[in-house]
């Protein structure tokens, strides 16, 4: 897993609340290899049913080309557990997501893929989105070690992150390696449980 | 010293702690892991890392997302890539030795139907699956939640997961449900009330007299859609209804083990005086049969209502969202819901494909004809056989329904069971997201009885007018 330390990138606004993971990658693309999924990101939000790009969707606008951060509405990436919602955005160059709240499963999935979900107050996220609309191509800086987001207006917001998740991201390790070092505790738990819930 | 009062969730959590880190992260032991055809990729990653399946005896699998429902067996799956995904289950079973209910086995079905049906899901245990609707299993008093495919690999290798403890929320529904009102209507009313993000970060315990009087099938429907309110999990306290349901099921304990388990299970419910971080109460009598009008499960209103007007939205963002949803759904504000015509009907999914769901739909369909293309898709081979033994398949077939093979089918359309652009579908599934049932398809979430009413009238119809109980 690639480490995440800091990132300065063009940020793109996705305004609607409750953008579900079916919007981020529709189900019909899930059965394909990861390499083939990249063009499916936000497919039906980006494209009309005839396949043409919708010009009003920010991701289709030249000013946001090369963006690496998404600033979204509340409950971003709710719904289906499909981890492809994270990987398809990572494979399109997005490593950080800023929203007032996230779907819980998506939030957890980010950390397994070197991506950082950041929760900021709803008013500030709305302010960031309107700035990005006003100045397409504006950049946001995310500093994980300092736990700060610097907006295009220069304003710095601090965000919270669990030290466990932060440490894994900074080092670029996923949790399996760490957990295997707890083999002794897992085995001891299983021995205890064998008595307590012997029918399982 | 007096023991503190604990919630059911807190009790189960505490019993499964393997490691507690000072930063608030817990390595939580996972008692049972359910897998489906979509887990094939996680097995490949497990192998690539040189890891093995730690507890095959705690791992259960059944294909559901990619299986065909128009015929049985691998040969019925048209897409060769999808066929490969389903076929991988037998290969992985041969290699790792977990319990499998594979395609062709009568016990095959939707993972969240099969788990409870086989007695794999039990009170007090932790259960995960790489699918967001794993919250379903909380209906029996388990702590059950959906995870992503990397966490699936983690559970395969270590039988545990790193978790930050969620908060606890109690949603009480008090009183008696009216005639024609089901668990599906209750959960849609709850989501309409608290919003699609209303339970984010929380494990929800459903309580109150209306919940206690629900059957296990009803509780499964209720807990299934906890995720649609953003909940990490949903639970109902195990009681005699739960124990009666589990008794005699294949993977439930037997004999002396049953007695030991029962004593354990009786201690699972929340203690009196347990404190929740958030509490919501609904009046059961005020809940009507519900229909969604928009593209989020929170867009649910009683069948007696009209399509809402975006001008009534509290703010500009909400108004724009409503306008987009109505444009996608092809609906005009102010239209009575009962005037909205449907093109298709789907009865099935992990939300509503159990025997009671099929009975309730069949009761409405009996002696009538479907006037639009309609499908009934049982949640498992066991449900299907039971329904056929009761003659429900004949009722559906005589009404012109297609009686199909078990799987996720049109809930998610990954197997190709999708609608056509612009079609309006009355669906007993769980998500009315844009494109969920196919690109451009308009999904309205309803109960099985309401779906049946739509099938025989061709529009949304208050089932209370049709049913003569």
CB contact residues (below 8 A), chain B span 395-414, against chain A: 412-414
Q: Mean per-residue pLDDT for B39-60?
A: 96
Could you report the per-residue pLDDT of A104-117, keeping only the tens digit for each? Answer: 999 999 999 999 99
Percent over 70 (pLDDT), chain B: 99
Spell out which residues of chain A touch residue B25, defining contact as CB-CB under 8 Å: 162, 164
Mutate to test the interface with B, among A27, A113, A186, A196 (most CBs of B within 10 A): A27
> CB distance A162–B164 less than 8 Å?
yes
Average pLDDT over residues B318-339: 97
Instruction: List CB contacts (< 8 A) between B421 and chain A.
Output: 49
Q: Got the DSSP string for B119-157? A: T-S-TT-EEEESSGGGGGGGGGT-EEEE--HHHHHHHHH
> Given CB atoms, is B298 within the 8 Å cutoff of chain A?
yes
Q: Is B196 exposed, middle or buried (0-12, 13-18, 19+ CB in 10 A)?
A: buried
In contact, B236 and B172? CB cutoff 8 Å: no
Asked if B414 and A176 come within 8 Å (Cβ–Cβ), the reply is no
Separation CA B114–CA A175 (nearest Å): 30
State whether B321 and A79 contact (CB < 8 Å).
Answer: no
| pLDDT attached to residue B165 | 97
> pLDDT value at position B88?
96
Task: Check CB contact of B232 with chain A, cutoff 8 Å.
Answer: yes
**CB < 8 Å to A54, chain B:** none
pLDDT of residue B343: 98
pLDDT tens for residues B384-433?
999 999 999 999 999 999 999 999 999 999 999 999 999 999 999 999 99
Q: B440 vs A49: CB contact, 8 Å cut-off?
A: yes
Does B113 have pLDDT greater than 70?
yes
Within 8 A of A36 by CB-CB distance, chain B residues are none
Digit-coded pLDDT (tens) for B234-285: 999 999 999 999 999 999 999 999 999 999 999 999 999 999 999 999 999 9
* Residue pLDDT, tens place only, A26-51: 999 998 899 999 999 999 999 998 89
- Which residues in chain B have their CB less than 8 angstroms from residue A102's CB? 200
Is B238 in the A-facing interface, judged by CB distances under 8 Å?
no
Q: Does position B3 have pLDDT exceeding 90, yes or no?
A: no
Interface test with A, best of B162, B192, B202, B233 (most A CBs within 10 A): B162
| Position A20 pLDDT exceeds 70 | yes
Q: Report how far apart the first and last C-alpha atoms of chain A are (Å, whole number).
A: 35
- Between chains, do B148 and A18 touch, taking CB under 8 Å as contact? no
The DSSP code sequence of B243-255 is HHHHTT-TTS--H
Q: Do B18 and A182 touch (CB under 8 A)?
A: yes
Q: Are A116 and A144 in contact (CB under 8 A)?
A: yes
For residue A131, what is the enclosing H or E element?
Answer: helix A122-134
B49–A contact, CB cutoff 8 A: yes
* Neighboring chain A residues of B38 at a CB cutoff of 8 Å: 30
pLDDT at residue B468 greater than cutoff 90:
no
Cβ separation B413–A83 shorter than 8 A: no
- Out of A20, A180, A193, the one facing B158 most closely (by C-beta) is A180
Q: Looking at residue A49, what is its pLDDT? A: 85
Band of residue B132 on the pLDDT scale cut at 50, 70, 90: very high
Residues in chain A: 200
For B161-195, write each residue's pLDDT tens digit: 999 999 999 999 999 999 999 999 999 999 999 99
Contact A180 B157 (CB under 8 A): yes
For residue B4, what pLDDT is reported? Answer: 86
**Rounded Cα gap, residues B2 and B4, in angstroms:** 6
Question: Which of A30, A163, A185 lies at the smallest CB-CB distance from B23?
Answer: A163
Find chain A residues with C-beta within 8 A of B258's C-beta.
199
The answer to whether the CB atoms of A81 and B196 lie below 8 A apart is: no
Q: Cβ A197–B433 below 8 Å, yes or no? A: no
Are β-strands B402-404 and B424-427 bridged in parallel, bridged antiparallel, or unpaired? unpaired
Angle between helical axes of A104-111 and B149-158 (0-180°, round to 10): 70
Measured between CB atoms, does B434 come within 8 Å of chain A?
yes
Among A45, A176, A190, select the one facing B154 at the smallest CB separation.
A176
pLDDT the model gives residue B2 = 64
Residue B371 has pLDDT above 80, yes or no: yes
Q: And the tokens for B237?
A: 């306290």
User: Percentage of chain B surpassing pLDDT 90?
Assistant: 97
CA dist A166 and A154 (Å) reads: 24
Q: Is residue B469 predicted with pLDDT exceeding 50?
A: no
pLDDT for position A46: 96
Which residues, 6 or more positions from B391, have their beta carbon under 8 angstroms from its beta carbon? none
Q: Is B410 helix (H, G, I), strand (E, B) or coil?
A: helix
State the pLDDT at residue A174.
Answer: 86
**What's the pLDDT score for residue B345?**
98
Mutation site, B17, B38, B148, B262, interface A, largest A CB count within 10 A: B148
Mean pLDDT of chain B: 97
Q: Which of B88, B126, B146, B150 to mutate to test the interface with A (most CBs of A within 10 A)?
A: B150
Q: How big is the CA angle at A95 (ends A73 and A31), to the nearest 5 degrees?
A: 85
CB B444 within 8 A of CB B434: no
Contact of B150 with chain A, judged by CB distance below 8 Å, is answered with yes
Which residue intervals of B31-175 are DSSP H helices? Answer: 40-48, 80-96, 111-117, 149-158
B158 CB neighbours in chain A (<8 A) are 176, 179-180, 182, 186
From chain B, the residues in CB contact with A26 under 8 A are: 435, 439
At residue B317, the pLDDT reads 86
The partner residue sitting opposite A81, judged by closest CB among B148, B418, B436, is B148
> In chain A, which residue's Cα lies nearest the Cα of B21?
A164
Mean pLDDT value of segment B203-207: 98
Q: Residue B197 is nearest to which of A78, A164, A175, comparing CB atoms?
A: A78
pLDDT at B1: 52
Cβ distance A23 to B433 less than 8 Å, yes or no, reads yes
Long-range contacts of B214-218 (CB under 8 A, 24+ apart): B214/B183, B214/B186, B215/B241, B215/B356, B216/B116, B216/B139, B216/B140, B216/B241, B216/B242, B216/B245, B217/B183, B217/B354, B217/B355, B217/B356, B217/B357, B218/B182, B218/B183, B218/B356
Handedness of CA B144, B148, B149, B150 (dihedral sign): negative
Q: Phi and psi at residue B143, in whole multiples of 5°?
A: -95, 105
Contact assignment for B230 to A176 by CB distance below 8 Å: no
Q: How far apart are CA B190 and CA B444, in angstroms?
A: 17
Verify whether the Cβ–Cβ distance A28 to B296 is below 8 Å: no
């Amino acid at each position: 897993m690639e480490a995440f330390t800091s990132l300065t990138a063009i940020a793109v606004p996705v305004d609607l609340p409750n953008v579900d993971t079916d919007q981020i990658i529709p189900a019909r693309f899930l059965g394909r290899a990861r390499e083939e999924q990249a063009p499916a990101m936000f497919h039906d939000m980006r494209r009309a049913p005839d396949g043409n790009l919708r010009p009003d969707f920010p991701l289709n606008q030249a000013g946001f080309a090369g963006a690496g951060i998404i600033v979204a509405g509340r409950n971003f990436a709710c719904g289906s557990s499909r981890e492809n919602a994270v990987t398809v955005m990572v494979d399109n160059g997005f490593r950080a997501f800023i929203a007032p709240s996230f779907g819980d499963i998506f939030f957890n999935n980010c950390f397994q893929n070197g991506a950082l979900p950041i929760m900021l107050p709803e008013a500030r996220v709305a302010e960031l989105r309107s700035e990005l609309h006003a100045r397409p191509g504006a950049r946001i800086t995310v500093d994980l070690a300092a736990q700060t987001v610097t907006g295009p207006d220069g304003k710095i917001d601090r965000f919270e992150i669990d030290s466990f998740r932060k440490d894994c991201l900074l080092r670029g390790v996923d949790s399996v390696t760490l957990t295997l070092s707890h083999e002794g505790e897992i085995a001891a738990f299983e021995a205890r449980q064998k008595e307590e819930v012997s029918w399982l | 010293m007096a023991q503190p009062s604990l919630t059911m969730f807190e009790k189960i959590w505490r019993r499964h702690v393997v490691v507690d880190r000072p930063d608030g992260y817990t390595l939580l032991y996972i008692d049972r892991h359910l897998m489906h055809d979509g887990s094939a990729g996680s097995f490949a990653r497990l192998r690539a890392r040189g890891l093995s399946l730690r507890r095959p005896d705690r791992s259960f699998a059944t294909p559901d997302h990619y299986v065909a429902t128009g015929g049985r067996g691998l040969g019925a799956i048209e897409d060769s890539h999808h066929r490969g995904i389903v076929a991988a289950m037998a290969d992985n079973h041969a290699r790792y030795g977990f319990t499998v209910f594979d395609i062709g086995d009568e016990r095959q079905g939707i993972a969240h139907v099969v788990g409870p049906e086989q007695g794999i899901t039990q009170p007090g245990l932790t259960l995960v699956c790489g699918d967001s609707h794993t919250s379903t299993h909380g209906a029996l008093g388990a702590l059950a939640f959906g995870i992503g495919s990397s966490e699936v690999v983690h559970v395969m290798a270590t039988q545990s997961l790193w978790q930050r403890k969620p908060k606890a929320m109690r949603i009480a529904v008090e009183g008696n449900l009216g005639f024609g009102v089901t668990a599906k209507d209750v959960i849609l009313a709850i989501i309409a009330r608290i919003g699609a993000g209303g339970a984010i970060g929380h494990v929800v315990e459903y309580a109150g007299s209306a919940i206690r009087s629900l059957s296990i099938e009803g509780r499964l429907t209720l807990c299934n859609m906890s995720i649609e309110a953003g909940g990490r999990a949903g639970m109902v306290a195990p009681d005699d209804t739960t124990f009666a349901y589990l008794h005699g099921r294949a993977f439930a304990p037997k004999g002396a083990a049953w007695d030991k388990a029962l004593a354990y299970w009786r201690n699972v419910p929340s203690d009196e005086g347990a404190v929740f971080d958030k509490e919501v109460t609904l009046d059961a009598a005020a809940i009507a049969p519900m229909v969604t009008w928009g593209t989020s499960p929170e867009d649910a209103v009683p069948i007696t209502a009209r399509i809402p007007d975006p001008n009534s939205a509290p703010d500009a963002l909400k108004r724009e969202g409503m306008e987009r949803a109505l444009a996608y759904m092809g609906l005009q504000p102010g239209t009575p819901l009962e005037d909205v015509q449907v093109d298709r009907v789907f009865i099935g999914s992990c939300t509503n494909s159990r025997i009671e769901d099929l009975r309730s739909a069949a009761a409405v369909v009996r002696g009538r004809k479907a006037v639009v293309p309609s499908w009934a898709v049982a949640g498992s081979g066991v449900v299907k056989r039971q329904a056929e033994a009761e003659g429900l398949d004949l009722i559906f077939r005589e009404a012109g329904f297609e009686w199909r093979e078990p799987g996720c089918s049109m809930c998610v359309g990954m197997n190709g069971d999708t609608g056509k652009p612009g079609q309006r579908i009355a669906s007993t599934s769980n998500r009315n997201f844009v494109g969920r049932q196919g690109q451009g398809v308009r999904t309205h979430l309803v109960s099985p009885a309401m779906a049946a009413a739509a099938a025989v009238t061709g529009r949304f119809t208050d089932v209370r007018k049709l049913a003569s109980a």
